[in-house]
Amino acid sequence: MEAEDPLVGGRCGSFRLVRRLGRGGMGSVYLGEHVSIGSRVAVKVLHAHLTMYPELVQRFHAEARAVNLIGHENIVSIFDMDATPPRPYLIMELLDGAPLSAWVGTPLAASAVVSVLAQVCDALQAAHSRGIVHRDLKPDNIFVSRRKRGAPFVKVLDFGIAKLGDAQMPQTHAGIIVGTPEYMAPEQSLGRGVDGRADLYALGVIAYQLLTGRLPFTDEGMTAQLVAHQLRTPPPLRSVNPSVAAPLEHVILRALAKKPEDRYPSIQAFRHALQIAVAEEGQGMARKENPALRGAPSALKPIARGRPQVGSREEAVAGSQVVPSPRRPAQAPAPRASLVELPVQVVLRPGENPVRLVGSGLSRGGLFLQGGHILPPLCARLPLVLELESGPLSVLCEVVRLVPPAQARVWGMPTGFGVQFVEATAVLKAAVDAVLQKGTPVQSPQSRPAVEDPAVARTLEAWRRRSAGDAYAVLALAPDADMGTVRLRTREAWRSLEVLERKPLTPPQRAEVDALRIRVREAAEALGATVQRALYDAWRGNHRGVAKCLEAGLTAEQLESLRREFLARRPQAMGSARAHFQSGGALEREGHLSQALEQYERGLKLAPLEVDMLQRYRRLRRVLGGRSPAGAGHERARSP
């Protein structure tokens, strides 16, 4: 695999890249060897597809600047950098050891954990004292190096998204979240201002994971993790690993407080509290309470025997999630039929406290929330927590149906609103199946017909044909529909499904309607905004749709950014497209407008985001009066 990496064997400055050591979200790290004196370093190279975004290149500057400002022994040193194209890179010290993520998944001795965390605290305290907040602290960014003598030595890595003083890092449209959801403080995921207490929260999550062998929240999916950290209290450490001492549990849970002011005032105060908690309990008492740890050394290195090194956050999280909690069965018991109506916590307005409502009509697609004095807006996205017998489950939902009091009286049903799940993860599906396996939702005889209604069957068949196509087919749109028509057809699709949902449906039909809701939502997200639609059209060669996005306000800067992203993924497209464009230009100069228009169209199907050719194509169509190319083959071009 390493031999296939095109960068291996190449040079970055005076260093030859020998082999790749690891790969992350923003770049790859290589072993570099000086071509003259043979000294070895680590070379971090930005991914090729990200070099087109100036704000990401600025993050390389930010990382080097932050590390240089701090200058602490527990932070990896950066010797040199080059932010110029084609490949920005950093030259860093080469570390011998493994990331802390190599040891997550099994509980570690408290003394070993605190020994490592104390060094991380020292590094962060040095950063915070200079106004620098890391903002992406996680086990992958904490490296445990080996030395000839003494305890493991810690190096904190990756200050690439650090907050420098009052300066905010530039935002990116490359799809990279600023931070890692499993370790992100609530105020950070909510977009509020952060200070050193956000790093303290992340370190509390890491401490929880090292001491218990699992994350505080094992929900699957990015949004579920964010919602859990915002709304739910983590299970006590001792409920997961009884060997954790009560004083240490108290320290960790305080670090995980939702409000920053409820945590420790500084990272150094947290460090001091950790050491006091371990000293009070004593190493001997810890071994006595947990026989499984007897004879285990305090250093981390022996504990890691037989465990593979983890090379990415996804692998680290997956590795920790497959270890079930000792207090939770591997498969949740089937709940009673009465749990088909289940309690739900939901945040109806951003920044407000969650309210408790009753959920009914649960399916894999969503559920109906009964009651509540305030109904949220249609299409609003709400975080909620399903309180299941197997444990609380955080999900993100979208409001797809409103039943105000007047309609509720007419239909003979409770006031409330229907939501569909934004991310139907495997964990969520399994939880819903477990609820429905023992007791299906209570339905009236009218909602459970013995035979299918022929009219409903015909409507579903028409929807089935639509949903088999692309987003345009789902919303019954022409490829060159304007943005106003897109919004109109989206509303019509939602209303059509709402009408269908009120009809007597068999269980398979109801499940099909749930699936159709997801398809309509996906189509609306793909076509409902100019930037998303332009990129969607580009992948499908639909230059007419791109033109409609330009008419609707897509800026030249946005189009150029999308163009770079498109060509980075399809570098061969431009070569073939350019041949058609050149042929079209020659035909246009000779007056063969129909053939020229045909060549332009072929080129735009390959590279639909070429704005100059889009404008030339549209101008030529106007010259031809909108007629098809075949009917205007010998018209001479007028001067533009």
Eight-state DSSP code of residue 372: -
Eight-state DSSP code of residue 312: S
The C-alpha atoms of residue 263 and residue 255 are separated, in whole angstroms, by 5
Q: Please return the burial class of 247, using the count of CB atoms within 10 Å of its CB with bins 0-12, 13-18 and 19+.
A: middle
Catalytic residues: 136
Specify whether the CB–CB gap between 86 and 49 falls below 8 A. Answer: no
Angle between helices 267-281 and 246-255 (to 10 degrees): 170
SS3 33: strand
Eight-state DSSP code of residue 323: S
Specify whether the CB–CB gap between 398 and 391 falls below 8 A. Answer: no
Residues 255-269 as b or e (16 or more Cβ within 10 Å = b) = bbbeebeebbebbbe
Cα distances from 618 to residues 277, 562, 611, 629, in angstroms, run 72, 20, 11, 13
Q: Please, what sign has the CA dihedral across residues 156, 160, 162, 164?
A: positive
Eight-state DSSP code of residue 50: G
Residue in this structure with the two tokens 């409103």, named with its chain if needed: 402
| Cis amide prior to 405 (ω within 30 degrees) | no
Structure tokens at 138: 């996680």
Specify whether the CB–CB gap between 396 and 423 falls below 8 A. Answer: yes
How many CB atoms within 10 Å of residue 216? 23
Radius of gyration of the chain (CA): 29
SS3 per residue for 488-520: HHHHHHHHHHHHHHCCCCCHHHHHHHHHHHHHH
355-360 vs 27-34, strand pairing mode? unpaired
SS3 344: strand
The C-alpha atoms of residue 249 and residue 260 are separated, in whole angstroms, by 18
Specify whether the CB–CB gap between 379 and 418 falls below 8 A. Answer: no
